[in-house]
Structure 1
């Protein structure tokens, strides 16, 4: 499987780009998964539902499946800071691409998502894992770069660039042990 991260500050457009890349890659016949870093306590279940009740009763893991979906919820007894590599180990190995949102300080190859209007600094000059910049303001990039500059508003073009450069994003979990 191939793995690429999307790094950028809140409000830069990471979620929108990832959301648009999913169908752009799927239209090329590729299976896509997403790994997202969530802050704070979050929930995907709803109070009163069976899986919520099992989790609230103290189950360490709850696995729910139907003919269309499988969900795994794991409750940590103590706070656990998982790395992106821990989460990638949970991904179904038959996917073609994993799009990682968040984990901006990880050692994965990443595309920086940057908007001049955000007034936030760029990360690419100090992060050797950033291999391209997706922006809506290429002329406003504060530092010149030899990295590819992709159009943030052209998800199909970004998907094409990813596919054309796919070999470079092949994930080798052994390299991160």
Structure 2
């Protein structure tokens, strides 16, 4: 099974920026990374007027576009797919990192902007974050849970590699 780590945090906490940096560092170490962005609303990845958009608008239940360097598939669904279902579609990756999915049962790294007064989010019993990433460690208490500064990308990548038992 491909390991999955979720990067979670409040809106505008810097999750996307952190993820970009982590992905870059993992790729530098030859780790193939898949990414899943959780979105609460509908979305479009197509361009109005283009062929795939026209096929979708005509009523296709699934539309794929493929080239020598990219592949994309959009399908109508009756209910949201869970992470494991999506991971099975991702192909040849060593690790999947999600943005969001704070209620999932996957290991989570929580990003906290302490300078904005944020505190750790509430988690179900037995499913705390595996690490915190903060903009200020001063006075931050996390018990046995590792705490990283948001610019400690190499250390965060090391932690993810060790936690997931990956071989760079």
TM-score normalised by L of structure 1: 0.85
Alignment correspondent of 1:161: 159
Distance 1:84 1:140, change over 3 A: farther
Alignment correspondent of 1:175: none
SS at match of 2:138: helix
Distance 1:124 1:39, change over 3 A: closer
Alpha-carbon RMSD: 1.9
Work out whether residues 112 and 124 of structure 1, in 8 Å CA contact, stay in contact via their aligned partners in 2: no
Alignment correspondent of 2:111: 113
Distance 1:48 1:4 in 2: 37
Q: CA deviation at 1:90?
A: 2.0
CA deviations over 1:59-112 (Å, ceiling 9, x no partner): 000111000100001123x4x2332223223221x2111111111011000101
Q: CA deviation at 1:125?
A: 6.6
Is 1:15 the counterpart of 2:16? The answer is yes
Work out whether residues 6 and 14 of structure 1, in 8 Å CA contact, stay in contact via their aligned partners in 2: yes
Work out whether residues 3 and 164 of structure 2, in 8 Å CA contact, stay in contact via their aligned partners in 1: yes
Is 1:55 the counterpart of 2:56? The answer is yes
Q: CA deviation at 1:2?
A: 2.1
Q: CA deviation at 1:126?
A: 5.3
Which region of structure 1 is more displaced relative to structure 2, 51-60 or 155-164?
Answer: 155-164
Aligned residues: 164
Work out whether residues 33 and 91 of structure 1, in 8 Å CA contact, stay in contact via their aligned partners in 2: yes
Alignment correspondent of 2:45: 44
Distance 1:122 1:137 in 2: 13
Unaligned runs of 5+ in 1: 170-177
Q: CA deviation at 1:115?
A: 0.9
TM-score normalised by L of structure 2: 0.89
Alignment correspondent of 2:4: 3
Map residues 141-160 of structure 1 onto 2, 5 A cutoff.
Answer: 141=140, 143-160=141-158
Work out whether residues 124 and 130 of structure 1, in 8 Å CA contact, stay in contact via their aligned partners in 2: no
CA deviations over 1:39-75 (Å, ceiling 9, x no partner): 2111111100101000110000011100010000112
